[in-house]
Amino acid sequence: MSLLEIKNLHVKVESHEILKGINLTVNSGELHSIMGPNGSGKSTLAQVLARRENYLVTAGEILYDGKDLLSLKPEEAAAEGIFMAFQYPVEIPGITNVYFLRSALNAVRKHRALEEMDAMDFLPMFREKMKLLEMDEKLMNRSVNEGFSGGEKKRNEILQMAVLEPKLAILDETDSGLDIDALKIVAKGVNALRSVERSMIVVTHYQRLLNYIVPDFVHVLVNGRIVRSGGPELALELEEKGYVDAERQALAV
């Protein structure tokens, strides 16, 4: 059974139609990349999957693990194993990273009928995951994302993913604004988390990230529709020719 099935998804934001009939199936363990120019609807798709509420779904459905995803609140979707790495991680002054992540993990564990993790068990695990992302331990007790560099914020997103162990991870332009060293670290973290039980959707504008995180499938999203799908070679072709061809095709649809 496929983990995620998006069928004919139409989404509006403030009466403006952004997604115009998306169809996408993701099976367990697969990594799909969604590429497309700015304003094509990539981030909207990611946000809808993470259950952000200010999007109006006008038609279509999303089945996640056989359940109607659109009936879930964001926290329910997270507890069911959906995780989105934010394009712009939010700063939350006054709450430490470690407090935030332990609260999140325990909320998710509670939903999964697992025992809460106390600080004694949580900290060694947390430190281990920080090492994977090559993060300074000092960031642990700093306020969530406050004063973090761009690279630190993105690594922090992947760190959260490592702690929460989702079934479906959506990375929304995780590569944007990263220098090559930071990009490699993030990619290393993501690759370490790939498994047959974890699917990923990597949303990106550029092919660069896909040199380090090699997808099973690439989809091109233009003007609210997936206009082409293929293997990793499609990403290279787009890098060469740009989105112009794809856009032309979209207009022809």
Partner 1 sequence: MITAAQQLESYLGSFSRLEKQAAWSGLSWWRKLREDAFARFTEVGFPTPHDEDWRFTNVSAIAQTPFQLAGKESGRVSPEDLERWRVPGAACQLVFVNGRFSSELSRTGKLPAGVTASSLAEQFTKDPKVLELHLGRYLDIRRDAFSALNTAFTADGAYVHIPKGVVAGDPIYLLFVSTGNNEPLMTHPRNLIVAEEESQASVVEDYVSLNAGAAFCNTVTELVAGDSSVIAHYMIEREDPQAFNVSTLRIQQGRSANVASHSVLLGGGLVRNNVHPVLAGEGAECLINGLFIGNGRQHLDNYMLVEHASPHCDSRQFYNGILDGRARGVFHGRIVVHKDAQKTDAKQTNRNLLLSDDAQIDTKPQLEIYADDVKCTHGATIGQIEENALFYLRSRGIDEVSARKILLLAFANECLDRMKQDSVRTYLEALMNRHLFQVANSVPVARTDRGEDQGRNWEELG
Q: Are 116 and 202 in contact (CB under 8 A)?
A: no
- Binds partner 1 by CB under 8 A, chosen from 50, 187, 202, 235: 50
Residue number with CB closer to partner 1 (49 or 222): 49
In terms of DSSP H, where are the helices of the chain? 42-49, 74-79, 97-111, 119-132, 150-164, 180-192, 232-241, 244-252
Whose Cβ is closer to partner 1: residue 12's or residue 205's? 12
Tell me: does residue 124 bind partner 1 (CB under 8 A). Answer: no
Does 142 participate in binding partner 1 (rule CB under 8 A)? no
56 is a site residue for partner 1 (CB under 8 A): yes
Q: Which of residues 185-244 bind partner 1 (CB under 8 A)?
A: none
Contact region for partner 1 (CB under 8 A) — 55-63, 120-128, 192-200, 243-251?
A: 55-63
Burial 3-40 (b: 16+ CB within 10 A, else e): bbbbeebbbbeeeeebbbbbebebebebbbbbbbbeeb
| CA dist list (Å): 171 to 15, 209, 213, 228 | 26, 11, 11, 20
Binding piece for partner 1, criterion CB under 8 A, among 45-53, 116-124, 199-207, 238-246: 45-53
Residue type, 31: L
- The site for partner 1 (CB under 8 A) is made up of 50-59, 70-71, 73-75, 77-79, 83-84, 86, 89-90, 92-95, 100-101, 103-105, 107-108, 111, 143, 160, 164
